[in-house]
Amino acid sequence: MTLLPNPFSALVIGSSGTIGGAFIELLENNPLCSSVVGIHRHSEHSIDYQKPDSIEACAAALSQKSPFQLIINTIGVLHSSDWMPEKRLDDLNPEQLMELMTINAIGPALTIRHFSKLLDPKNSIMVTISAKVGSIKDNRLGGWYSYRASKAALNMLIKTASIEWGRTKPNTALIAMHPGTVNSRLSKPFRGEQIGRPAHDAVADMFRVIESLKKEDSGSFISYSGEKLPW
């Protein structure tokens, strides 16, 4: 039996981004979705992973809109105006490594901690966007040290929390999801416009997977195609 009820209420974290915005549009046009809330750094109730206190404060402010049956966290960073993914070990530097850990692992982990209180204990799903390059087993090319490490850390945090939720939230699935290459600001320097899919196609694929999730899937690393990925 699938977990997502009819109707359901949704929360999209990082709704100002390409994938987050596409999820908002998809859910607003889904007749089964009774309401959808989007939050980001500049929303009324803001969330900023460079300001960890904002995570708990945002969750507390949204508690009046809970419970949510679906929470999707799309926040993540691959590069900035100051640096690009490392090609060699000699490119590794503490500032870049720390920033990606903060945004890609620590922020999402604290989001799982605080926003879990907003989930419907009867039936709910929490999806955090990860990346296939965070798979240790699948790492064949090397490089991209900080990004790979931060997504691998995120995956471990999700897997560990899912084990606890098996005891405390048995009707909730906690999922890491790989969106594939999406035509976005994040992928643009890496030929995203040529090899990436439009965001609305990517989120449609991911939502089809979300709709089919069962509580037994909690703690899984899943691709947009529904394929279970190796940690």
Mean per-residue pLDDT, 107-132: 98
Does this model's pTM top 0.85? My answer is: yes
**What percent of the residues of the chain are helix, what percent strand, and what percent coil, each to the nearest 5?**
45, 15, 40
Please report which confidence band the pLDDT of residue 187 belongs to, taking 50, 70 and 90 as the band edges. Answer: very low
Sheet holding 70-73, edge to edge: 33-39, 8-13, 70-73, 124-129, 172-178, 221-223
Fold annotation for 8-223: Rossmann fold (3.40.50)
User: For residue 35, what are its two tokens?
Assistant: 């309401």
Contacts of residue 52, defined as CB under 8 A and 6 or more positions apart, other chains included, come to 106, 107, 110
Inform me whether the pLDDT recorded for 131 exceeds 50: yes
